[in-house]
Homo-oligomer: A and B are copies of this chain.
Amino acid sequence: MQAVVKTHRGPGGEVRTVPDPTPAEDEVLVRVRASSICGTDVHIWKWNEWAQERVRTVPMIFGHEVSGEVVRVGARVRSLTVGDHVSAETHIVDGTCYQCRTGKMHICANVQVLGVDRDGVFAEFAVLPELNAWKNDPSLDPAIASVQEPLGNAVHSLLPEDNIEDLAGKSVLIAGAGPIGLLAIAVARTLGAETVVATEVNRVRADLARKMGADRVFNPVEEGDRLVPAIREMTYGRGVDVACEMSGHPSGFQLVFDALTPGGRVSLLGLLDRPTTLDVDASLIFKAARVHGIFGRRMFATWYQVKGLLALPAFREKVGQIITHRVPIPELARAMDLIDSTQAAKVSLEARW
């Protein structure tokens, strides 16, 4: 088959012909119908510091956001059959560690990540463990089906636990309107938030943020010191109930605490890449703030939420809008350029070889 392979420990990747993969007894073989690019893929493509340290084996096929059709099932697979449409949950877990056995599979002590620790999905075919192959409604657009994983990140950021305050009539801040931030805006709107405010410097993304339903989108650089007062003014002077850090920028990290109402909650998704300073007393203690570190999404409570939301036509249509570009998988280099251009939100990859 054809696949995009990281052939050596350095930038880029190559389209190569490699042997077709074979599913093990508890795995399925999937013909890729669509894929999409995550920040992780960009890191691996550029071979930045994180990738150099994190990726252990090359050559490796990378990519992990995917939807496709099951074309073969291992002997022990029970819940899937040939012809099923599926997407991938990227976290491959051991099922027996403390985290897995207590409802926290997504932070399995021995997690392996698709397209990072083993061959991924920028290919004609991909192998998935049965548990990781999430069955889709066959009528779902493959490009949308492929972005369910970042959509899951967005939902998980807003609802990090089963038992967590709902968003009904609440105010929500999304700091950073990259693809996951954009999805989070759409989700918050769909879950009954009264006020959704976002920050974003990139104009293309700021426009999309408004389309996703943000009441206001601030450019944090332009607003400067007026930003927090402006957010308070939109929230009866109280500050927001829920704040999601999705920019990966220290200013966003500071903002989610400054804009929070006492007793509110913060979800941290954007990686900051380096140690960051915080006035813990003022930001966390006196505010009685709660903070959730967000990694992956719950397996599979979040996936059911995502599936249910995508069944709503208005929401599904919004999700479609964040896919600003569609590029064939073999043209991954061009897709990477698009992401660098600041003109793109989500870049979908089509299975045209």
Counting contact residues on chain A (CB < 8 A from B), the size range is 35 or more
In the complex, what residues of B have CB within 8 A of residue A281's CB? 271-273
Interface residues, chain A, CB within 8 Å of chain B? 78-79, 94-96, 98-99, 101-104, 106-107, 109, 130-131, 155, 159, 161-171, 187, 190-195, 236, 238, 253, 261-263, 268-269, 271-281, 283-296, 299-301, 303-309, 311-312, 315
Taken together as a complex, chains A and B put the C-alpha atoms of A304 and B107 apart, in Å, by 17
User: What's the Cα separation between A95 and B107 when bound, in Å?
Assistant: 18
Given contacts A268-B280, A287-B295, 8 further A-B pairs with CB under 8 A are: A79-B96, A99-B263, A103-B103, A104-B262, A166-B305, A194-B311, A253-B280, A285-B295
Of the residues B98, B161, B166, B307, contact of A159 by C-beta under 8 Å: B166
Q: Shortest Cβ distance from A257 into chain B, in angstroms?
A: 10
Which one of B190, B285, B293 lies within 8 Å of A271 (CB-CB)? B285
Whole-angstrom CA separation of A106 from B170 in the bound complex: 21
Q: How many copies make up the complex?
A: 4
A170-B308, A286-B295, A291-B291 given; A78·B94 CB < 8 A: yes
Q: Are A290 and B288 in contact (CB under 8 A)?
A: no
Known contacts being A194-B312, A293-B286, is A304 close to B163, with CB within 8 Å? no
**With the chains together, A296 CA to B286 CA distance in Å?**
9
Q: Which residue of B lies closest to A306 (CB)?
A: B169
Q: Judging by beta carbons under 8 Å apart, are A162 and B165 in contact?
A: yes
> Which residue from chain B places its CB closest to the CB of A170 in the assembled complex?
B308
The docked-state distance in angstroms from the alpha carbon of A291 to that of B309 is 25
15 contacts between A and B (CB under 8 A): A99-B261, A101-B304, A104-B288, A168-B187, A169-B311, A187-B192, A191-B192, A271-B281, A271-B285, A272-B281, A275-B278, A275-B280, A276-B278, A287-B295, A289-B291
CA of A171 to CA of B304 in the docked complex: distance in angstroms? 11
Least CB distance from A32 to B in Å reads 23
Q: Which 8 A-B pairs have the closest CB atoms?
A: A169-B308, A194-B308, A284-B293, A163-B163, A79-B96, A291-B291, A169-B305, A101-B300
Q: Which residues of B contact A305 (CB under 8 A)?
A: 166, 168-170
- Shortest CB distance A28–B (Å): 12
Question: What separation, in Å, do the CA atoms of A311 and B269 have in the docked complex?
Answer: 29
